Amino acid sequence: MSLSKKAFGAIAFVLIILVADQCLKIWIKTHMYLYQDIEIFSWFIIRFVENNGMAMGIEVIEKLFLSIFRIIASGLIAYYIYTLVKRNFSLGYIVCVAAIFAGAVGNIVDSVFYGVIFSDSTPFNMAVLFPSDGGYGTWLHGKVVDMFYFPLFSFEWPSWIPFLGGETFEFFRYIFNLADASISVGMIVLLLFFRKSFALSFEKREIKA
């Protein structure tokens, strides 16, 4: 496959993920109350939540620095994809990295813009896009929208187990979005099928796909 076709494939894939991710998030923000559920199946629920931090709601650094870090990291990934195309890596590997890049950018859009373009979402009020009195935050301080919840199964730990006794274990309790899924799938496929390509990408020699 020619380099131009690989570049087009990577760009098209990124755009598809970004558009789908943002369309879903905007619909959730403007049609659901915060913490509202829409049950598709007992094991698949659309639950609207927001978080200020990284994946799974983890917060270890201040929001502004997290947003800046995401932007810098995404810029480095974009350059990495450029080098992969230029060095003629396989389309499969390029798409895996593009999936990670698309997911990262999808969440960056929330962090950079959502605080400015949306009013606040609450359990009693749906957000408004481009509110007349301004958004709920400032640039780079937007909250990331999550919605996919898969409570596949749960059980209670026996009381005799130290620390965990009596606690409920649920799989999968974390709520995520399409951008998170794109990052996770890209990384899993890369680790399963493209570890050699990943190692070769840091060697300074031409790749014959």
Domain ranges (residues) in the chain: 3-52+61-200
| 3-state SS, residue 14 | helix
Share of the chain above pLDDT 70, in %: 92
- Is 21 part of the annotated catalytic residue set? no
144, 57 contact by CB (below 8 A):
no
Q: Give the mean model confidence (pLDDT) for residues 19-37.
A: 98
Rg of the Cα atoms in the chain: 20
The more confident residue out of 159 and 14 is: 14
Task: Spot the catalytic one: 110, 120, 133, 146.
Answer: 146
CB-CB contact of 177 with 19 (8 Å) = no
Q: Which two tokens stand for residue 196?
A: 């050699």
What are 123's two structure tokens?
């359990």
Q: Which of 21, 120, 133, 180 is catalytic?
A: 180
pLDDT band, residue 150 (cuts 50/70/90): very high
Indicate whether 60 pLDDT > 70.
no
Q: What is the pLDDT of residues 81-110, one digit of tens each?
A: 999 999 999 999 999 999 999 999 999 999
Decide if pLDDT at 200 tops 70: yes
- Phi/psi of residue 13, each to 5°? -65, -45
| 180 counts as catalytic | yes
| Coil, strand or helix at 37 | strand
